[in-house]
Structures are given as C-alpha cells and as structure tokens.
C-alpha cells in the first residue's frame, strides 16, 4: 500500500508541475488537452501490459443497490467509506482557492498557476519520502493507529498554515503536513482489505472509490462557497477542523477495526 501511495505521490508531483508549465508556456486549453492524452496513455498501458494472475470471477452478478447493501451489512467497511469521503472532501476544499491564496501571499498573478503547481507538489514530494516509512510502521502498529496519526497531524497542519503570510513559510508547513498526511489513504486502503472477505474486495474498492469521488466533487464546491461568503482563511479553518472531526470518528470507532470485528480472508 505504501508503494502505491508513493506512485500516487509521484503523479501528484509531476501533474501540477507539468500542468503549471504547460499553462504558462501555452494556455489552459492545452493543459486540459494534455490531461486527456495522459489518461489515454494510461488506458493503453492497462490494456496491453497489465495481466491479472489467479483471477477467479465472482459467481453471479451484483447490482448497484446490492453493492451498497454489502457496505450496509459490514460496519467496519461502512466506517472506512465514511472516513474516506470526509477526508477527501476536507482536503479538496482548498484546491479552488490555493492559486488565489498564493497571489495573496505575494505571488504574481501571471505565475499563479505555476506557483500553485509547485506548492501542491510539495505535499507529493514529502509523500514520496515518508509514505514507505508509514507503510512499515503500519505493519507493526496497525492501520487504524497510523490513520489516526495521519488525520490528527493533517488537521493540525492545515490550521498551522493560517498564520503564515509569506509563501516560504506556507510552503514549509505544507511539506511537513504532507509528510504525515501521506499515511492516511494507504491506511484506509489497508482497512478496506482487512474489512472484507476476498470475494468482496472488488466491490469494496469500487465503493471506496465512489466515496473518494463524492468527496472530491463536493470539496471544491464547498471550499469555493465558503471562500466567497467568508474568506480564504475560513477554508483552511474548515479543512483543519473537518480532518480533526474525522480523526475523532476514527478514534472513537477504532474497536471496529480490531481483528475480532473484521472479515479476514487468509
């Protein structure tokens, strides 16, 4: 899981940087078009290079309603889905306001896209450096403890970004925040595996991705609305407090993730 997180972090570094460079050299339309090209390349890689070994098709078909029924009957999995949704919603509230905030901190309007890409990439860089270490710790301490640590420091890290009024201090705090927050999603994926029997893993990960996408959709909408009604700082307050609230949910419900309560398939 930590290696997958490192791969994701690498993409999160290259993506914003490349997007910012393309937008600066050409325009935003070319940046959008390049995203489509990379998605097409990913599709081709899956089609021609990825093979599944020892794959056993599931007997029978399961409907969309049936998929949600799987989660409703599995309390640990349902909790993971709720935490995934809240976490993704929280971190994505900042996305629409970050370029504006960088300009407010002293960055130029002309280079706002490039600077935002660099600041976003700092979280990914720290993820590459620290995600494997969190993976090793998760093997020793358990996914639920690592999840709680990541959410706690992630929430505090967002709040710590508020007092800084220069781009250098803000960037350093973002880097430290990323060093801890990179532990969250690998821990959630590990809990998905631990909370479901092998024959339901595909359904479980599909539901987890659905929760992730719902949070990713709602987060920017809420962040933009809060920024428009109040201020950009209010978005950081909201994100930090939401992550701390999510951490509290994970902490209070941590017994659900004990091995006596989860379905494990050897």
* Tens digit of each residue's pLDDT (9 = 90 or more) over 122-133: 887 887 888 888
pTM: 0.78
Q: What is the structure's pLDDT at 258?
A: 61
Q: Establish if 263 belongs to a structural domain.
A: no
Q: Establish if 184 belongs to a structural domain.
A: yes
Q: Establish if 87 belongs to a structural domain.
A: yes
Q: Establish if 262 belongs to a structural domain.
A: no
Task: Tell which wins on pLDDT, 152 or 198.
Answer: 152
CB 153 within 8 A of CB 181: yes
Is the pLDDT at 266 greater than 80, yes or no? no
Query: CATH number, domain at 45?
Result: 1.20.1250.20
Q: Establish if 59 belongs to a structural domain.
A: no
The parent domain of residue 144 ranges over: 2-54+64-257
169-205 tens-digit pLDDT: 888 998 999 899 888 988 888 888 888 887 777 888 8
Comparing 80-94, 120-134, 212-226, the range with the smallest average pLDDT is 120-134
Is the pLDDT at 264 greater than 60, yes or no? no
53-65 tens-digit pLDDT: 666 666 666 666 6
Q: Establish if 219 belongs to a structural domain.
A: yes
Q: Establish if 264 belongs to a structural domain.
A: no
Hey, how many other C-beta atoms are within 10 angstroms of the C-beta on 251?
14
What is the number of structural domains in the chain?
Answer: 1
Q: Establish if 79 belongs to a structural domain.
A: yes
């Amino acid at each position: 899981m930590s290696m997958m997180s490192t791969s994701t972090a690498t993409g999160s570094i290259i993506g914003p940087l490349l997007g910012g460079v393309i937008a600066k050299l050409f325009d935003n339309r070319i940046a959008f078009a390049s995203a489509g090209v990379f998605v097409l390349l990913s599709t081709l890689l899956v089609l021609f290079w990825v093979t599944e070994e020892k794959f056993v098709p599931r007997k029978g078909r399961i409907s969309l309603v049936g998929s949600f029924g799987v989660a409703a009957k599995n309390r640990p999995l349902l909790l993971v889905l709720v935490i995934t949704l809240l976490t993704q919603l929280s971190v994505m509230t900042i996305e629409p306001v970050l370029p504006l905030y960088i300009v407010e901190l002293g960055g130029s309007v002309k280079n706002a896209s490039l600077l935002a890409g660099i600041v976003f990439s700092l979280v990914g860089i720290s993820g590459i450096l620290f995600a494997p270490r969190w993976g090793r710790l998760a093997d020793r301490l358990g996914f639920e403890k690592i999840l709680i640590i990541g959410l706690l420091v992630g929430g505090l890290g967002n709040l710590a970004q508020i007092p800084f009024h220069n781009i250098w201090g803000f960037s350093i705090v973002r880097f430290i925040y990323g060093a801890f927050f990179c532990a969250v999603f690998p821990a959630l994926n590990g809990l998905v595996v631990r909370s479901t029997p092998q024959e339901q893993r595909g359904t479980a990960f599909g539901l987890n991705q659905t929760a992730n996408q719902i949070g990713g959709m709602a987060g920017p909408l809420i962040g933009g609305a809060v920024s428009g009604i109040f201020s950009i700082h209010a978005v950081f307050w909201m994100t930090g407090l939401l992550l701390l609230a999510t951490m509290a949910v994970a902490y209070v419900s941590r017994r659900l993730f004990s091995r006596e309560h989860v379905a494990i398939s050897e």
